[in-house]
Chains A and B, each alone.
Chain A
Amino acid sequence: KQEVTQIPAALSVPEGENLVLNCSFTDSAIYNLQWFRQDPGKGLTSLLLIQSSQREQTSGRLNASLDKSSGRSTLYIAASQPGDSATYLCAVRGGGFKTIFGAGTRLFVKA
């Protein structure tokens, strides 16, 4: 059964710092992996989607990598800003179209 783990559970950094969020999964037979952002009391906003055949995706200050063989994905945020403060979730989609989410990393960027 697929399990998805995100480390750390919470992170506080000063503005301007580069940071890495981690997501690990137990079953490498995935269809894709998606990173989301969730603001308090709000829905989920898609940030990046990586297909199983891809190694990384980039959007602006965000870069997500995928290493299926080791069951890991990282989300790199460059030059963090207070507006980046949110919970970041990774979701793994399997071949049966079940989707398993990690519990999330709560990020706080201090001005």
Chain B
Amino acid sequence: EAQVTQNPRYLITVTGKKLTVTCSQNMNHEYMSWYRQDPGLGLRQIYYSMNVEVTDKGDVPEGYKVSRKEKRNFPLILESPSPNQTSLYFCASSLSRDSTDTQYFGPGTRLTVL
């Protein structure tokens, strides 16, 4: 089944403890992206990647890192999480740069930073 998977789905952690949220897609998509969703603010893009080793900042990249060493994986790294990073995180992918390509979303990761 074609899908975007994220792990973990739920995570409670403490301030300053490094964590990684994994994202993987099995559709051979070139484009991958991370978003956070907060009440009243909608989804905001954190980082995106147009191919292996090519990443760029979205609207809210502060406090996050990403890497794209393999086409299928796009992990989101929080080196020193803070309470304002408590949010619902979504990973998405699309086939290519083509304007016809739909973005497919993972199920989300709910992160709480105490």
Interface segment, one of B21-29, B64-72, B78-86, B105-113:
B105-113
Q: Which residues from chain A sit less than 8 Å from chain B, CB to CB?
A: 31-32, 34, 36, 42-46, 49, 51-53, 89, 91, 93, 96-104
Assembled-state Cα–Cα distance A57/B32 (Å):
24
Is there an interface contact between B42 and A103, defined as CB atoms closer than 8 Å?
Answer: yes
Let me know if B31 is at the binding interface, CB within 8 A: yes
- Give chain B nearest CB distance to A96 CB in angstroms: 8
Add 5 more A-B contacts to A99-B35, A102-B42 (CB < 8 A): A93-B103, A99-B58, A101-B35, A101-B43, A103-B42
Chain B residue contacts of A96, Cβ below 8 A: 56
Chain B residue contacts of A103, Cβ below 8 A: 40-42
Is there an interface contact between A44 and B105, defined as CB atoms closer than 8 Å?
Answer: yes
Assembled-state Cα–Cα distance A21/B64 (Å):
34
The listed residue (A44, A49, A98, A102) touching B45 by CB distance below 8 A is A98
Is there an interface contact between B107 and A43, defined as CB atoms closer than 8 Å?
Answer: yes
B side interface size, CB within 8 A: 26
Is there an interface contact between A99 and B90, defined as CB atoms closer than 8 Å?
Answer: no
Chain B residue contacts of A101, Cβ below 8 A: 35, 42-44
Is there an interface contact between B33 and A99, defined as CB atoms closer than 8 Å?
Answer: yes
User: Known: A31-B99, A89-B42. Contact between A100 and B106, CB under 8 A?
Assistant: no
* Across the A-B interface, the 4 shortest Cβ-Cβ residue pairs: A103-B42, A101-B43, A44-B105, A51-B99
Assembled-state Cα–Cα distance A81/B100 (Å):
29
- Give chain A nearest CB distance to B26 CB in angstroms: 16
Chain A residue contacts of B20, Cβ below 8 A: none
Let me know if B76 is at the binding interface, CB within 8 A: no
User: Known: A98-B58, A99-B33. Contact between A32 and B99, CB under 8 A?
Assistant: yes
Chain A, Cβ-Cβ closest to B39: A103
Is there an interface contact between B42 and A104, defined as CB atoms closer than 8 Å?
Answer: yes
Is there an interface contact between A98 and B59, defined as CB atoms closer than 8 Å?
Answer: yes
